[in-house]
Amino acid sequence: MTSSQDNRDKLPGVKENRFALNFESGFQSIGFAVLLCIILAAVLGFFSNGYFSSAKKSNISQTLSVNYERFGRLQTEFKLHFTVQPQNTDKYVVSLGGKFNEDFQPGSISPQPDSMYSRGKTLYLVYNNVNNNRDFSVWMYVTPTVPGKSVSSISVNDQPGITFWQFIYP
């Protein structure tokens, strides 16, 4: 038997679902907090540029470092920045391996390599006649082509490399 309160609140011709109404009411009470958490996560860099997304790694011998974004979005270009400490050679061969060739599409590279080729799953950038008096930096813009976690590696002239991961949101 229904109470007189339930009969009074119902509109003729409208079927109400108590579960749906209770769910909506409960979500409205926590909705602001959920929205605030999403905005805070975005500002801190959980989805792209920000405090938690920006990362820098160096190899064991401190001759190579890479600045990159841990989090990115599919089909949205972002920058990788490699820095090589001066070495006793005038030729640098930068190799990008792991899942880099499968998951990313290279865009503009500055400075332009003298030659660039791919062998297997590794992309090679060759720089000849490099000035050895100061750090050598390469800026590379890449576009993710596959969503999910991608583990890539970089090394220069067969020295110790760096392995780094990135998560790409769809």
User: Residues 150, 103: contact at Cβ < 8 Å?
Assistant: yes
What phi and psi, each to the nearest 5 degrees, are found at residue 43?
Answer: -65, -35
Predicted confidence band of residue 7 (pLDDT cuts 50, 70, 90)? low
The pLDDT value recorded for residue 92 is 92
Q: What residues does 126 pair with on adjacent strands? A: 93, 115
pLDDT tens profile 61-78: 889 999 999 988 899 998
Q: How far apart are CA 144 and CA 102, in angstroms?
A: 9
CATH-assigned architecture of domain 54-169: Sandwich (2.60)
pLDDT tens profile 82-132: 999 988 888 999 999 999 999 999 999 999 999 999 998 999 999 998 877
Predicted confidence band of residue 41 (pLDDT cuts 50, 70, 90)? confident
Predicted confidence band of residue 12 (pLDDT cuts 50, 70, 90)? confident
Checking phi first, is residue 51 left (phi over 0); if not, alpha (psi -120 to 50) or beta? alpha
User: Residues 120, 132: contact at Cβ < 8 Å?
Assistant: no
Q: How far apart are CA 57 and CA 40, in angstroms?
A: 25
Where are the domains positioned within the chain?
4-44, 54-169
Predicted confidence band of residue 8 (pLDDT cuts 50, 70, 90)? low
User: Residues 58, 84: contact at Cβ < 8 Å?
Assistant: no
Return the sign of the alpha-carbon dihedral for residues 32, 37, 40, 41: negative
The pLDDT value recorded for residue 131 is 76
Residue-wise DSSP of 148-167: EEEEEEEEETTS--EEEEEE
> 0.75 cut: is pTM over it?
no
Q: Which residue has the higher pLDDT, 52 or 83?
A: 83
Q: How far apart are CA 101 and CA 119, in angstroms?
A: 10
Return the number of other C-beta atoms located less than 10 Å from residue 52's C-beta: 14
Name 101's Cβ contacts closer than 8 Å, sequence gap at least 6: 118, 121, 122, 123
